[in-house]
Structure 1
Amino acid sequence: MGTRTKEPKPDWLRIKLTTGDSYKEIKDMMRTKTLHTVCEEARCPNIYECWANRTATFMILGDICTRACRFCAVKTGLPTELDLQEPERVAEAAEQMGLRHCVVTSVARDDLKDGGASIFAATIHAIRARMPLCSVEVLIPDFLGDEASLRIVMDAKPDILNHNIETVERLSDRVRAKAKYSRSLELLRRAKEMQPQIPTKSSIMLGVGETIEEVHQAMDDLRAVDVDILTLGQYLQPSSTHLNVERYVHPDEFAELKIVGKSKGFSSVESAPLVRSSYHAHEQVKTAAAAAAGAKG
């Protein structure tokens, strides 16, 4: 870890600021319902675009993570409470926003016996009870590899199960705290085994020192456990205490990686500098469903 990046941020990473009525309305709603979004907590570069389009990724289980990954801006420490009413408040907010696709993620809660899996399941059920036609995607932690916790989530039948490997195998221990590359792949394998009809998804950030060959291998590793959807984006250093950006990857390279990903069999690949795990998530549901229908046909 260092104090600054070695090269200035390129023009293609300039963020368009759009803070219209929808953005302000969503921000006020989150405050009123004491909800958190990963959009804010992780300082997502797409927050202005997504909130202006009335889409947001809810972050449940509080805003304090029990891990301290070297790329992530979310606060770390020891959480002090578990809010059992949170699922209903998330569902209320999703209903007020009129969402057709709802993404739910969380901090890592290694202090809880099930890692928060039961709250994920309750949130899925609460959203479905209010909005039967709204698809639900969950971006889950690894639950320290606990199969029973994963089963709780899969039994709630989210429309997409997302778990990010974040980086290539060689860099995983350096970039992530406690998480293991092999354990993440095993989680994704088990998820597909438990509910074969549910699309699985993962994400890789570029610019932390990986080679293109290693990215190709990570794609192969994900396809080996039947992951359907892949997102690729540029790592941006959230503060001087986080990992340095080793390289800003040109948009043309991202475009080439999208072609490679599609050739390897992913049903959907989002690949561009500002892409994050939930970016255009609503479109990926349709693509995955179409791919599944095609495979059956």
Structure 2
Amino acid sequence: MSQEERDAMQAEVLGERRHLVSLAFRMLGTVAEAEDAVQETYIRWYRLSPHERDAIEVPRAWLTRVASRVCLNVLDSARRRRERYVGPWLPEPVPAYAFPATSSTAEDPLERVTLDESISMALLVVLEAMTPAERVSFVLHDVFAMPFDEIAGIVGRTPAACRQLATSARRRVQQSRTHRVSRAEHDEVVGAFATAARTGDLAGLVAVLDPDVVLRSDGGGIVTAARKPVLGADRVARFLLGALQKNPTAAVLDQETPDGLGFALWDEGRIIGVVTLEVAAGLVTDVRLMMNPDKLTLWN
């Protein structure tokens, strides 16, 4: 391979960084872990000899395989690390434009998640409950349209086994979406939620919350947040109104998220929190409050 060809390959390799971070984020759930995985992928690339790199016909495919294996290893140890996490661990909320998917244009609506949903908190929470092999198989196939014979070499299973893993993962995703409402209904309910919260209307806020609503607040031990999930409409409503009263200088502004309408908490020109909500049957069923500054990097 000539030096000119090597220079072109080098530019191609560096140009794949956004694709790799996009892939790793969906597998790992935080930007920091995704960036670490991509950094490790590039380290492995540069450890190759010039002869080994010359033998790689499609650098993107090689990088994707290696990044996926790195993520698989990270997922194997993630549960143990998250058991030591201070308070509830939540995936990182990201702006809707942050990580566009790069799957093929041949979308099968019965098998593939919508592209904006693939970075939603709702889906990331479901992915967290999967086994590492399920999650990697699902992301590679349903979001990035990788064939099962290629996935098999990454997860160390047969193509048939990978198909089963992706099917099991897809079933979990579909079950989580069974009672989900349209984006228009979601935003209408969240709008009523916002009105009640901003006016301090306890009864109005309770009325828009599901009786079994759950609020999870992730401060990562860095900032103040509820150490345990808050359960029930009355408790969640009182927690939210109390939090607003304790932070009178913070502004709660509407914010579009991959989950639909949510909120950004602003203080002194910076976003200090992001709130995403799930809605079913006209009521808010889940409130996720991200306060950990390490998981708000893309918002500021």
TM class by shorter-chain length? under 0.3
Higher helix share: 2
From the CA coordinates, give the structure whose radius of gyration is larger: 2
